Amino acid sequence: MIWPLPFLGSGTAPLARGTALLMILDPDRTQRTPVGWLARQYGLSPAEQRLTEAIVNGVPLTAAAEQFGIRLSTARQRLKDIQAKAQCPRQSDLIRLAFSLPEVRND
């Protein structure tokens, strides 16, 4: 995933124009994200929470639908509902929102 970073022309560590954040994820290592917080904040149902977690962790929508035993059309509608509740017009906005939250540690 690549996100453009804002131009910060002053300060102690200014970022130049065109600077981006590159995030490389290993699909074989599921990363836990604070989706529970998102679910509480935006009133997601348990099914919506599970789908959100799958999407945020890089699972394609078709694979998530199969994993949860639902039709692809149901998964698409559920994702639209999630995006509407979280006020994220694009799937990438939902992922960005989840990754903007502080990491949850269990140690």
Exposed/middle/buried for residue 15 (C-beta within 10 Å: 0-12, 13-18, 19+): middle
Position 81 confidence tier, pLDDT thresholds 50, 70, 90: very high
Tell me the pLDDT tens digit for each residue of 34-77. Answer: 688 888 889 999 999 999 999 988 899 999 999 999 999 999 99
Question: And the tokens for 4?
Answer: 């453009």
Question: And the tokens for 71?
Answer: 């039709």
Pick the CATH number of 31-100 from 3.20.20.70, 1.10.1040.10, 3.40.50.970, 1.10.10.10: 1.10.10.10
SS3 call for 21: strand
Q: How far is CA 68 from the centre of its chain?
A: 18
- Paired with 22 in beta bridges are 2
Tell me the residue length of the chain.
107
pLDDT at 76: 97
